[in-house]
Amino acid sequence: MEEKAIVNDVLSSVKSNLKEYEGAIIETANMELRQALQNLRNSSESFQYELFKLAESKGYYTPAQNATQDEIVAVKNEVSNL
C-alpha cells in the first residue's frame, strides 16, 4: 500500500472516531468518563490536524477553497437566527 493511501485511510478513520467520541461525550453522565472521552477527542483532533497538514504538504489532500466573505456573512446570519 502506498503512503498516500495509508495517510488518507488513517485520516478517514480518525474523522470517524471523532464523531464517535462526540456521540459518547454527549450521552455520558459520569463526569470522569466524560472528561476522559473529551481528552481522547482533543488528542485525536490534534493528531488529525497534524496528519492533515502532512497530507496537504505532500499533495495527498487538497482542501476546499476558502469561503468568500459573502458566504461567511450568510452563514453567520443563518446561525444567529437559530
Specify the long-range contacts of residues 37-41, CB closer than 8 Å, at least 24 apart.
Answer: none
Look at residue 1 and tell me whether its pLDDT is greater than 80: no
Domain boundaries, the chain: 3-80
Over residues 30-72, the pLDDT tens digits come to: 999 999 999 999 999 999 999 999 999 999 988 889 999 999 9
Over residues 8-25, the pLDDT tens digits come to: 999 999 999 999 999 999
Of 57, 47, 43, 70, nearest in space to 4 by CA: 57
21, HSE (Cβ side, Cα atoms, 13 Å): 18
How high is the pLDDT of residue 54? 94
Whether the pTM exceeds 0.85: the reply is no
**Residues ≥6 apart with Cβ < 8 Å to 25:** 34, 37, 38, 41
How high is the pLDDT of residue 59? 92
